[in-house]
Structure 1
């Protein structure tokens, strides 16, 4: 029984060491290739003060021991094996592993500063590109506004012309009505004069033998 117990303990120890080596391998990859950017659940890069956020990495031995991948976004660890937390004693006992972890953490700290400078030009270029797009959009809006104002002036001029035509037509109508009214009054007067003339002539006709 003791032999089996010792074998299980050795197997657990071997798994613990392999777990640490897996985590070390991930950190080595990040030192070589760069700390990955952090993405949200929708797969979009997360920004902080206009800069891309870098994903989590342990910054101390304690954080390394507690690191199990849950601190990272799923996109970051997609290409790496699954790993878990490890006991403090495991790393404390294996000096070479502990020293390797400490070295990697220091290198990643420097790497983070380097990448912060690398990210700035990218962000600046992105902002510049966005500015170019916005300027183009602004020019289109200004052109559209100019066209609308030009069309408005044309319509206002047309409206003024139509207003003048209406006023002129109204004046001509009033003048025509006035002239027709005068003609009508004159015709009535002539008609009345003829009626009186006829009335005067009729009695004379009746006196003839």
Structure 2
């Protein structure tokens, strides 16, 4: 079973920029998603040099010993199956997907796991989220100071949820409460 083990954090400022590497423009469309049970996603990523990659990804809840409840300090664990597909197929699937997100993704040169940072665009701007993929759910993480709070397990902030209910559609008070920096 392929497992994705990750923690996610809101980013409060631009102090992450010196750590940024591998910028890619990403469009994701959701072909099926609901209640955190199953997500079927198509992703088209374009690097700054124009190279394109495309993937079809299926995510499901983890089962058995791999299952972990997401709470601050404990990673979210899910089954993840990802398959490369031709970019032209991804474009066709994106045309059929009513629920999408677009973002710039940066790899980060931080220790302790595979760190990426997403700068959301369009209806989800100005949301910025850092996430780290881990080897174990209980793995310790040195959280950078520019991460304002942990959002691991907050379903309303998953990419699939943001595709269905973008940040711009949230009531102003709810949006402001999310985006105001506060401690971890």
- TM-score, normalised on structure 1? 0.21
Higher fraction of strand? 2
Higher CA-based Rg: 1
Higher fraction of helix? 1
- TM-score, normalised on structure 2? 0.24
